[in-house]
Amino acid sequence: MSIDWAEGRGRIEAGGKSLEWQSWGMPKADTPVIVMLHEGLGSVGLWREFPAAVAESTGCAVVAYSRAGYGFSDPAERPFPVDYMTREAVEVLPEVLRAIGAAQYILLGHSDGATITAEYAGRVKDFSIRGLILIAPHFFAEPMGLAAIASAAESFATTDLPQRMARYHADAEATFRGWNEAWLNPEFATWNVADVIDYIRIPALVIQGAQDQYGTRAQVDAIAEGSYAPVEVLMLDDCQHAPHLEDPTPVLEAIAGFTTRLQRIEAAGPVPA
């Protein structure tokens, strides 16, 4: 089942679940579609104005979807397994891309979504993927990140966070618990998927806030130093975990420039032997 671009929103079936999606712009010949994968507590709605701005700055059609258990997609089974991001990458994302039905893609992920994006690129052979945009990716657990996730549990219990999340999720508590309990599982202390970097053969743009409370510069260095494909890095000094919302102008400029360079390479065709 392919999405209906004219409708601009709807539902697709992937991973045995009905998932909500929304699009911005219309696809064009020889232009990639940008698919956005949200963070661990994100959804279609929580991208806010960013997808529209990406579509306008790049000239590409943009699609965002909510994973199972998020937004107004079907519920997800709990507890999340420690390898839930790997499973999402290899079992669900291929079906999402088939439903979108484009010939070329750029995958744009934030946080958990960035990890899923990188895992897809490293684990699934898909020549339709032309580039990766990774915002605050994580490839391994860090003590400071786990401490921040533990602090989030306290915030959920003592602040209005459940009410604020309820505007964007059908079951805010299930969404929060699924993510939070997975990361606080003792097994997550040794979680590490950095091996996928060795298998990425697609250019990447990596964006991170220097004040990111969930991950250090080591996450960025892992792919910048380990990938065989070109990696561009944008570090933003005064940003935390969501630079695309905290300081969108340089983020959008970097995404537009990266996308333009990818399209220029695509248009030039293969280098003669």
Q: Does residue 272 carry a pLDDT above 70?
A: no
pLDDT of residue 264: 87
Residue 264 lies in a domain: yes
pLDDT classification of 183: cutoffs 50, 70, 90: very high
Q: Does residue 1 carry a pLDDT above 60?
A: no
Q: Does residue 151 carry a pLDDT above 80?
A: yes
Domain count, the chain: 1
Average pLDDT, the chain: 95
Q: Does residue 165 carry a pLDDT above 60?
A: yes
- Tell me what the mean pLDDT of segment 97-119 comes to: 97
Residue 132 lies in a domain: yes
pTM above 0.85, yes or no: yes
CA distance 197 to 120: 11
| Portion of the chain with pLDDT greater than 90, in percent | 93
pLDDT of residue 70: 98
pLDDT classification of 2: cutoffs 50, 70, 90: confident
**Sequence letter at residue 43:** S
Range of the domain at 22: 9-268
pLDDT of residue 109: 98
Residue 273 lies in a domain: no
Residue 2 lies in a domain: no
Residue 15 lies in a domain: yes
Residue 3 lies in a domain: no
Residue 201 lies in a domain: yes
CATH of the domain at 221: 3.40.50.1820
Residue 160 lies in a domain: yes
* pLDDT tens per residue across span 122-150: 999 999 999 999 999 999 999 999 999 99
Q: Does residue 270 carry a pLDDT above 90?
A: no
Q: Does residue 91 carry a pLDDT above 80?
A: yes
Which pair of tokens denotes residue 13?
């079936």
**Who's near 236: CB < 8 A, 6+ residues apart?**
207, 208, 209, 210, 243, 246, 247, 250, 251
Q: Does residue 21 carry a pLDDT above 60?
A: yes
CA distance 160 to 143: 26
pLDDT of residue 218: 97
Q: Output 3 or 182, whichever has higher pLDDT.
A: 182
CA distance 51 to 64: 8
